[in-house]
Structure 1
Amino acid sequence: VYQNHRQHCGRKSDFLKKHKFIDYVQRHFFEDGWSLDVCSNRCTAVGEFASSDIVCTRTLYNYVDQGLLDIHNYDLPEKLKRNTKLHRIRRNKKKLGRSIEERPKEINKRNEFGHWECDLVLGHKSKDDEVLLTLSERMSREFLILRIPDKTSVSVMQAFKELQRQYSEHWNDIFKTITTDNGSEFADLSSLEDVSNTLVYYAHPYTSCDKGTVERHNGLIRRFIPKGEAIDNYSLQDIIDIETWCNSLPRKILAYHTPDEIFE
């Protein structure tokens, strides 16, 4: 009797029992680029699986470590990252406009729509290569990628003028504030305040965490365009596809909704 009871004690693995969910995870991981956490929670958020038919995020990572899935640790884009940057303190700060210290504290709570962060993504870093101007909305995580010919302030402002024409009368409602860094390419960005109600704030030097949302999204771009690879090698449709993928990716911070759903 004791031996029989021992065979039935302890928690048993759900791996074989929940093979439909495992197939769902592997399909979306490889075809749609979803993380294991998104795979585990998006299906319950939209009612595709009952909670009793899935396994949690931690268990999925355990399955990867145990070699039970076709997914390996080197397939996980964030797991093998290492921080190799040195912290630098800049003594002489250049002042291009309104400091981020003047930005209302309510913006940090991400409860109000219309507050954006802005940055540039470089490719080959040569003078003849194009550049990506990126903007991310803090509440919805909506992500915009604009292709510009170079990283001069003239090209950046031309892109913003085109963006203003695109959103026309809705501009002041959508772009209430923009936070960016102190790069020379954004030196003229504060001139937006003269032609609209948009307020522009500049982050502290060498403090990328002041605009962590857009930095995080730039990291998503690097899954498709590695550092050092020329932007010219990618078509406009490739850039549009990357933007579409980012905005249709379910996020844990959005209760597993997509940025497009929240933005609309």
Structure 2
Amino acid sequence: MNQVIIYSVLSFSLAFTSVIRKEHLQQTNIIIYGPPGAGKGTQANKISEVIKLCHLSSGQLIRDVIASNQSELSTSLKDLVDAGELIPDEIITKLLSSKIDSIECINGTIFDGYPRNINQSITLDEILNDRNSKLTAAIELEIPDDVLIRRVSGRLFHQASGRTYHVDFNPPKVSMTDDVTGETLSQRDDDKPDVIRQRISVYKEQAGPLAAFYESKGILRRVNGTGDVNSVFNEVWNALELTQFN
């Protein structure tokens, strides 16, 4: 009897996923990208709260796998992150694509930290095309290297939710404590100055061509990311309003 119930639930889930795929054409899908410490996660969270989109952070997906500490993959990813290296395309693409068909992403997705290079951009286009969907906008956060390094050295994270803070620019209400849960915040090993310099260098090499790629599609929006959280969000929001949202 239990097997019949499980089969019925799985059949319903597959049918519902099919309906979701048909509705993807009405989605709003946004990319927000920029160098490490540019504020992608913070801005993506604020956008998702306003227009009720699914926030998919490639960094958080990776950290979740590392935190599980239950496979060779988690160990390999930790070694790459600690060294400031980028995660191989096939791994991060698989992690993200598995989330796109979830119920929470039915209205569309904000892709935070992905794509990082042209190959990933092409792959994302293919993933969305397979779901009768497409990108609405690509937001590029621009910020000087010296500002990035200063920002990153003060970043704080709530591991479970991915919420981000900064000791100077966006401090929690209580020092080293998450505003929502009251749990202790942490700093990441890959936010050390030497590691962040390496990450910025790798980012520039890999992500440099993205601007031309999305500009050719007419969806690129450049935003100055050097202000405080709210002023940057206002610029991001104004840039998004230049596009047509259904």
Higher relative contact order (CA 8 A, sep 6+): 2
TM-score w.r.t. structure 2 length? Answer: 0.27
More helix by share: 2
TM-score w.r.t. structure 1 length? Answer: 0.26
Larger Rg over CA atoms: 1
